[in-house]
Amino acid sequence: MNDLQQQVQTAIDGLVESGAERGLQVAVYRHGEPVVDAVAGVADHETGRPVTPDTPFYAYSTGKGATATVAHVLVERGVFDYDTPIVELWPEFGVHGKEAATVRHALTHTVGVPGIPADTTPEDLCDWDKMCEVVAAAEPWWEPGTRTAYHAYTFGYIVGEIVRRATGKPISQVLREEVAAPLGIADELFFGVPESELGRLARLEDEEGSAESLAAMPDDSPFLKWGPRATFPTADFGNRPDVLMADIPAGGKMSARALARMYAALMDEVDGVRLLSPERLREVSAVAFSGVDEIMGNPVSWALGYALGHPGGDPEGPSTAFGMGGAGGSNAYSDTATGVAFALTKNRLTADFGAAEQVAGIVTKAVADG
């Protein structure tokens, strides 16, 4: 694996030179030690500002991995349990048949409230109390725990409000205090970014043709069951200062280096910090719910707050990897079999995970080859 850094650097340089990508970061840890920290391209195509290892990217749902990690760290400390009814912490949530919903159901996307109202605006998403009131008052689409559908936005508000009710602190503060600061990444791992840090973020751009595709999407598209067009993860949405500064923990703003370090610390000690016990890690990374996604219609298996598998891997096959990808193509995961923690962040929003699949494949082969 000695030349893995160079292999990854060559790959991402090629992606930028070909025009497929604008700016990327890749970070890899193995058994708690950094083995790759590579960057390519520009963070802002208008100014030419280069990507650096500490540049935060709005990686959209890749940030759900950090949201889940906060919950697990609190379970580890005994603040609540996976089978704690949400209503015990958040009484207002227990209406319309959601009384029996648990933290486990929130983490496995089985609570039954996968969508936000059709009139939700980006400004609404930035209003924590308003969104939590909407989610708490929602009628579930099914009995909690019996079916699944990806909770694109609501995952963040549900888990985030559980954390806030249990600790008295916003989830962004708990992320900083319990995860980011101990790992030395408090300035690279955010939900809401401080205004003073906005100038450091990578600027997102849409893949050619994506705006036209969004406009042409029929009104009965499954995607619109998650939320209205105005809340879709486009570059315009993800470059808004109010969105970047808001706690919307269905997504996150983060560097690949910070993500890989966090995932490494779930499995191993990283500079003296380990986030989970080996027993907790086994529970967290195992299949917790399998079913057919009620919105998209595809078979899915969820671990506790994480998807299972590598980018490009068989979504239905067995896997020792768990993590999250995000709209636009960023991805991060841990692999308990190899001790590899991987993260790729990027600012050109593509419809697939081609870059992550390519680079993760290089890492997987290097590990297999020793």
Q: Which domains does the chain have, with CATH numbers?
A: 4-369 (3.40.710.10)
Give the integer Cα–Cα distance in Å for 133 and 223.
23
Which structure tokens are listed for 311?
């980018």
Check residue 36 and give its pLDDT. 98
- What are the residues facing 332 on neighbouring strands? 324, 343
Q: pLDDT tens digits, residue range 91-139?
A: 999 999 999 999 999 999 999 999 999 999 999 999 999 999 999 999 9
Give the integer Cα–Cα distance in Å for 248 and 104.
20
61 a catalytic residue: yes
pTM of the model: 0.96
Check residue 314 and give its pLDDT. 63
CA angle 282, 177, 346 (to 5 degrees): 75
For strand 331-335 and strand 340-346, is the pairing parallel, antiparallel, or unpaired? antiparallel
Catalytic residue among 18, 61, 196, 210: 61
Which structure tokens are listed for 257?
């280096």
Q: pLDDT tens digits, residue range 208-263?
A: 877 677 667 777 777 778 888 889 899 999 999 999 999 999 999 999 999 999 99
Phi (first) and psi of residue 261, to 5 degrees: -65, -40
Give the integer Cα–Cα distance in Å for 192 and 250.
11
- What are the residues facing 322 on neighbouring strands? 308, 334
Q: pLDDT tens digits, residue range 34-83?
A: 999 999 999 999 999 999 999 999 999 999 999 999 999 999 999 999 99
Count the neighbouring beta carbons within 10 Å of the beta carbon of residue 118: 12
Count the neighbouring beta carbons within 10 Å of the beta carbon of residue 188: 24
Q: pLDDT tens digits, residue range 154-212?
A: 999 999 999 999 999 999 999 999 999 999 999 999 999 999 999 999 999 999 877 67
Q: Which residue in the block uniquely carries the two structure tokens 């999407």?
A: 217
Check residue 219 and give its pLDDT. 76
Q: What percent of the chain has pLDDT over 70?
A: 97
> Could you tell me which residue, 160 or 368, shows the higher pLDDT?
160
Edge to edge, what strands does the sheet with 340-346 contain? Answer: 49-50, 33-44, 23-30, 340-346, 331-335, 321-325, 307-308, 299-302, 289-292
